Every structure is written in structure tokens, then in C-alpha cells.
Amino acid sequence: MSSGQREGPKILWAPWRADYVQERRPDGCLFCEASRNGKGPENLVVWGNPRIFVIMNRFPYALGHIMICPRRHVSDLEGLSSEEAADLMEGTRMAIRALSRTLSPEGFNVGINLGKVAGAGFADHLHVHVVPRWTGDFNFMPVLSETRVISEHLLVTYNKLQKVFQDLQTESSP
């Protein structure tokens, strides 16, 4: 560095994030709205059945971060019917298979945050997080600059996952 030049913070440009920040937020429950609107890239629903659906996280912790949700507006596990609970678990298993085929992760974080104090961003509508993980996938960026680097655009991942979910549905049909 030559004299007279100041050293300042480095800038990581991520112009696609503006779409997420400026996005219209639903007045009601975003999961109920996504369920009503159905499958499609506009609301990132990749698969569903009559009791549950799988939606990509618009603000992912990592590439491929998806959530499995009951269609019925329910806030906790106690409120699920036996059929909904079984479908929620089967949907989680199917999500892990789809992510494995699509992104080849080395592991997964799978979890449910029950209640706002437990970290639930949307505590009123139960959802299971499935986050693919790779060795070294998180580095200094989140620690030093509160920035996550997602290596693929959401709609590219959506298209891949939607195809794999279709294939898995066909494979499991009699």
C-alpha cells in the first residue's frame, strides 16, 4: 500500500440480498400463505402432500436450508394429529434424501425451535429445519463480519430440489 491511501474495511458485494430485504411480508402467517399459494419458485415450496409441505428458507443459514411444515396452522408438536406427526417425520426423511442427492452434504443439522425464547423466528407455525453441512462450510465470515456466503442462487437450488422431490415421489409410488 502506498502512502496517502487509507486501509478500510473490505466490501463483499451481494446485490441479490436486496430482493430479500425489500420483499413484501405477508400480514398473516408466511407458512400458511405459502401453503395456500402452492408449489412454485415464487414462494419456494418444493414439495408437499395433503398434510405437510417442504419450503426453502429465504434467509438460509447454509446452501439448501429447507423447512418441513404442517399445512395446518399449529405451533407445537402437541397440536399435531398422529397422521401429521408421521408425515412431518417422513417429510424430514425425504428432505434429507433429496438434499443428499442434490448437494452431497457430509452431514445435517435437523431441529425444531419451539417458542420464541428457543429461537423460533415464526413461533406460531411449527416447522422442522434441515440444514446441510460440509466440512469447513462455515469460516471466518459469520464470525468477523456477520455475513454468510451462500454459493448458489436460491432458484437454482430450488429447481434442482424440485426435480429430485418429484423423482423421490415417483420412486415411492406403488
Active site residues: 127
**How far is Cα 49 from Cα 36, in angstroms, rounded to an integer?**
12
**How far is Cα 49 from Cα 60, in angstroms, rounded to an integer?**
23
**How far is Cα 105 from Cα 117, in angstroms, rounded to an integer?**
30
Handedness of CA 108, 109, 112, 116 (dihedral sign): negative
Q: What residues have CB less than 8 Å from 162, skipping those under 6 apart?
A: 39, 46, 47
Q: Across the strands, what pairs with 68?
A: 54, 128
Enter the C-alpha cell of residue 133: 453441512
Q: DSSP 3-state helix, strand, coil percentages of the chain (rounded to 5)?
A: 40, 15, 45
Calculate the dihedral angle through the C-alpha atoms of 10, 21, 156, 45, rounding to the nearest 10 degrees.
150
Fill in the amino acid letter for 153.
H
